[in-house]
Amino acid sequence: MKKNIITTCVVMMLMCIRVSAQNTAIDVSGIVQQMTGGTTYFDKGNIEVKNFIGFGAGAGINFDNFNVNLDFLFGSSAIKSNNNFDIQVAGVDINLEYQFLNYQITPLVFAGIGSVTFTDSYTGQGNIDETDFSYNFGGGFRWTIAEKFYLKGVYRVTSTKIAGTTDAIPFQGVSISLGYIIPLGI
């Protein structure tokens, strides 16, 4: 009996892998993202990252309803602290995305980890030239406009913690991607 259950599970897994392989594709995209910054605190004051718009690129691999993607985002923001100054923000995320339906328009959710880099800035506390761990999650939709093109709109929340601060800084906002699908035909 145990052998039959194991054999059945193995056969089902192999069937799923074959179905996934038939629907495998790579996608590449351009990204525009509006982010609302957050506030965190130092021992001697606070830092507030203002709203900013980021631009970037992404690439992913699709397996049926799942997509594993890598996003690169770059932007510039104003920082309000003891001194006001501009800061460059760059992020890299790897995400696991789930698309609920196999239709032209489908809702989706995602979560991932990555890093956020802050550069070229100075506060009364010193430089904030550093790269910090981040995590993100969100949801939205994907619309396959044509056989090989899609439009994706998501609401994303990203959190990171600058060294020497007490709390994580949340960034949240809307991200729009226009992508191209390259079927693998495996």
What's residue 46's pLDDT? Answer: 74
Higher per-residue pLDDT: 44 or 11: 44
What share of the chain in percent tops pLDDT 90?
47
Residue indicated by tokens 């021992």: 43
pLDDT at 142 over 80: yes
Q: How far apart, in whole angstroms, are the C-alpha atoms of residue 100 and residue 111?
A: 15
pLDDT in tens, 23-82: 789 999 999 999 887 787 776 667 777 788 899 999 999 988 999 999 999 988 776 666
124 is written with which tokens?
Answer: 């009364």
By the 8 A CB rule, do 7 and 14 touch?
no
Q: What is the mean pLDDT of residues 6-35?
A: 67
Q: How far apart, in whole angstroms, are the C-alpha atoms of residue 130 and residue 143?
A: 36
Using CB atoms within 10 Å of the CB of residue 46, give its burial: 0 to 12 exposed, 13 to 18 middle, 19+ buried: middle
What's residue 67's pLDDT? Answer: 93
Domain boundaries, the chain: 24-183
pTM, entire model: 0.80
pLDDT at 2 over 50: no
Please tell me the CATH code under which domain 24-183 is placed.
2.40.160.20
Q: What is the mean pLDDT of residues 168-178?
A: 92
117 is written with which tokens?
Answer: 């880099």
The dihedrals phi and psi of 128, each to the nearest 5 degrees, come to -120, 50
Q: How far apart, in whole angstroms, are the C-alpha atoms of residue 3 and residue 80?
A: 65
